[in-house]
Structure 1
Amino acid sequence: MSKIYVIHENSEWTEHLFKRLEELNLPYEDWNLVNGTVDLASVPPEGVFYSRMSASSHTRGHRFAPEFTSAVLSWLEHHGRVVINGSRVLQFELSKVLQYLELEKFGIKTPRTIAAVGKDEILKAAKEFEGKKFITKHNRAGKGLGVQLFTSVEALQHYVKGESFEEPVDGITLLQDYIESPESFITRCEFIDGKFFYALRVDTSEGFELCPADACTIDDLFCPVGEENSKPAKFQIREGFEHPVIEKYERLLAANHIKIAGIEFIEDKHGNIFTYDINTNTNYNSEAEAASGKYGMLAVSEYLERELNKVAETVER
């Protein structure tokens, strides 16, 4: 019998999905790829394979889970299996550089960003931001990894040369314009089956948490849009949200075979929108959803059910 196979490395982020799959009485199997083997001469089972591999896996001690997942996804795709958020999407999850280049390709404005490898190169790149606020972040990130706010090159030098410097797991540090929001919030747009589902307002006035999942916590003191504060952020679904950028997001997702994602943007004091993150392993906040009556994991499960039915019809033929 065909099943839904959920590929991941963090059980805390699959709990709500599994509950929804069970509510719909859908057959599924948990593929936790923290470690394992894949016989390239073998044939994968029939079904739908949904990848939820995370860029922040190394922060949970799962350094090579994305690399192993890449091998498994390639094996599945080689055999023509239905893969939701496949190998191309995993590349997006692991590289903000790739995200920003693709966003710009589709006419979506991003903060000015310079990628640098090596401490001396980071400091050289910082001179391009002289006289204004800027941030650093990791290219392979998640959870706001490496995000720090600086008001001068001298402050960055003290950080880079000091013991608190965070070395990116892939060696690439990004330097980026600091975009200030006059109303202290960002917007996260959720997409399921490549289509806009809802927009989530994240209030940053009392802190900022990049991941809206209930299980998430974040230790960073700085974020792209907030001031120093470690309190959890507030989440609220923006009812009736409409904006021309949504259509651009959908075109980008379609072109890159991204079926499920959360895309974050901030609006500056001039009304300009800057998009700074594509999260292909998106989570949902239960309190915000309960208040709105819209449920992300339920919609994801219903989408996976439709895909599973298509597979079952093909197999029966």
Structure 2
Amino acid sequence: MTDLAVLYEHPAWFQPLFAALDRRGIGYLALHADGHAYDPADTAPPAPLVFNRIAMSSFLRQPEHPIFYTQALMAHWAGTGARVLNGAGTLAVDASKARQLSLIAKLGLAIPATRVVHRAADLPAAASDLRFPIVVKANIGGSGAGIIRYDDAASLAEAVAAGTVPESIDRVLLVQGYVPVRGGKITRIETLGGRFLYAIDVDGGGSFDLCPADVCLATPGKPAITLTEARPDAALIQAAEAIAQAAKLDIGGIEVMIDDRDGTPRFYDINALSNFVANPLDILGWDPHERLVDWLEAQLAKVRA
């Protein structure tokens, strides 16, 4: 039995990871979520170290997505003694923007003004004490899916009446004050093992789809986005590390935007699925997959000890 199993869903996102493992001669078992099944009575995990690579955006690619299945599976494998990276607890945070914002706020960090509901009919009342424009977000989203901006209360009410507001696969919605972002850029701070790895500024030209990976950028019809290396100050890095550690994030990105109205950094997203930036050698000058494999080797040494 190999010491490393990787559960994944996207057909192309993890080729760089697999290639990096191959270059190092590290054996692994690649498990595609489609067709996968498990026995709850089976006490043998597929490997001592399990790396969960299931994306929240998987529901966009197939209605029979593995998001909730993976939470149960990761909890099962952890219960059999496997060390699970980005396990069930982390997935529960990744799969809920509402939980993410609560976690961030409890750390004393600023977030966008937000109200959470479970019925579309409650959106207008929930938004009544927010400043317009607002956005309505699906609690489980991905690649900007399930986000619509409304410039006034009347347009929100009309959308609710017409049944055109976003939907979330868990039936939870967020209504959030729209934040004018300084310079039109958000910053994504990548972490590994709870520590800063690198950061990029992402300018989506007004789009909510800010996925920075190669496959995302090549998607037909996707608005052009600009990626540049970012150098956040120590306070932002410390905040991102605190979020990653509170979310038990083994690897993942923390997204923050600077509110142009008052300069406040507002953290708004925790993403446990890091594809890493496209063209890393051009943008960063190094390949983060090599650092990831370094870290995986260290985790493998621990489970073998």
Same fold (TM > 0.5): yes
Give the superposition deviation at 1:56. Answer: 1.7
**Are 1:292 and 2:284 an aligned pair?**
yes
* Structural mapping, 1:37-48, within 5 Å: 37-42=37-42, 43-48=44-49
Retained in 2: the 8 A contact 1:208–1:232? no
Matching residue's letter, 1:149: R
Retained in 2: the 8 A contact 1:143–1:218? no
Distance 2:7 2:89 in 1: 15
Distance 1:205 1:37 in 2: 42
* Structural mapping, 1:22-101, within 5 Å: 22-42=22-42, 43-101=44-102
Retained in 1: the 8 A contact 2:186–2:256? yes
Matching residue's letter, 2:165: F
Q: Deviations 1:276-317 (Å, cap 9, x if unpaired)? A: 1000011112224433223222221221111112222x2xxx
TM-score of the pair, normalised by structure 1 = 0.88
Give the superposition deviation at 1:255. Answer: 3.3
Q: What SS class does the counterpart of residue 235 from structure 1 fall into?
A: strand
Q: Deviations 1:40-85 (Å, cap 9, x if unpaired)? A: 2221144311111111211111534122212221121112211111
Report what 1:126 is aligned to: 127
Inter-CA distance 46–171: structure 2 relative to 1 (3 Å threshold): closer
Inter-CA distance 40–291: structure 2 relative to 1 (3 Å threshold): same
Out of 253, 277, 283, the position equivalent to 2:275 is 283
Runs of 4 or more above 6 Å deviation: none
- Aligned identity (percent) is 27
Distance 2:265 2:9 in 1: 33
Report what 2:116 is aligned to: 115
Distance 1:63 1:114 in 2: 29
Give the superposition deviation at 1:191. Answer: 0.4
Q: What SS class does the counterpart of residue 128 from structure 2 fall into?
A: helix
Report what 1:310 is aligned to: 302
Give the superposition deviation at 1:103. Answer: 0.4
Give the superposition deviation at 1:207. Answer: 4.5
**Are 1:167 and 2:167 an aligned pair?**
yes
Retained in 1: the 8 A contact 2:132–2:153? no
Matching residue's letter, 1:67: F
Distance 1:255 1:204 in 2: 28
Structure 2 stretches lacking a partner, 5+ long: none
Q: Deviations 1:170-209 (Å, cap 9, x if unpaired)? A: 1111100111023111100000111101110112347553
Retained in 1: the 8 A contact 2:45–2:81? no
Retained in 1: the 8 A contact 2:48–2:82? yes
Q: What SS class does the counterpart of residue 286 from structure 2 fall into?
A: coil
Retained in 1: the 8 A contact 2:135–2:178? yes
Distance 1:209 1:256 in 2: 23
Retained in 2: the 8 A contact 1:208–1:233? no
Q: Deviations 1:256-278 (Å, cap 9, x if unpaired)? A: 32110101111022211001100
Inter-CA distance 53–255: structure 2 relative to 1 (3 Å threshold): same
Name the count of aligned residue pairs. 302
Inter-CA distance 36–78: structure 2 relative to 1 (3 Å threshold): same
Distance 2:94 2:300 in 1: 24
Report what 2:155 is aligned to: 155
Report what 1:180 is aligned to: 180
Give the superposition deviation at 1:120. Answer: 1.6
Report what 2:259 is aligned to: 268
Retained in 2: the 8 A contact 1:237–1:289? no
Matching residue's letter, 1:141: G
**Are 1:256 and 2:247 an aligned pair?**
yes
Give the superposition deviation at 1:253. Answer: 2.2
Inter-CA distance 30–160: structure 2 relative to 1 (3 Å threshold): same
Distance 1:177 1:166 in 2: 16
Retained in 1: the 8 A contact 2:7–2:32? yes
Q: Deviations 1:214-234 (Å, cap 9, x if unpaired)? A: 111699xxxxxxxxx962211
184-193 vs 57-66, greater mean Cα deviation: 57-66
Structure 1 stretches lacking a partner, 5+ long: 220-228
Give the superposition deviation at 1:167. Answer: 2.1
Give the superposition deviation at 1:213. Answer: 0.9
Report what 1:222 is aligned to: none
Report what 1:225 is aligned to: none
Q: What SS class does the counterpart of residue 258 from structure 1 fall into?
A: coil
**Are 1:143 and 2:118 an aligned pair?**
no
Report what 1:224 is aligned to: none
Q: What SS class does the counterpart of residue 165 from structure 1 fall into?
A: coil
Q: What SS class does the counterpart of residue 274 from structure 1 fall into?
A: strand
Q: What SS class does the counterpart of residue 13 from structure 1 fall into?
A: coil
Inter-CA distance 286–274: structure 2 relative to 1 (3 Å threshold): same
Matching residue's letter, 1:146: G
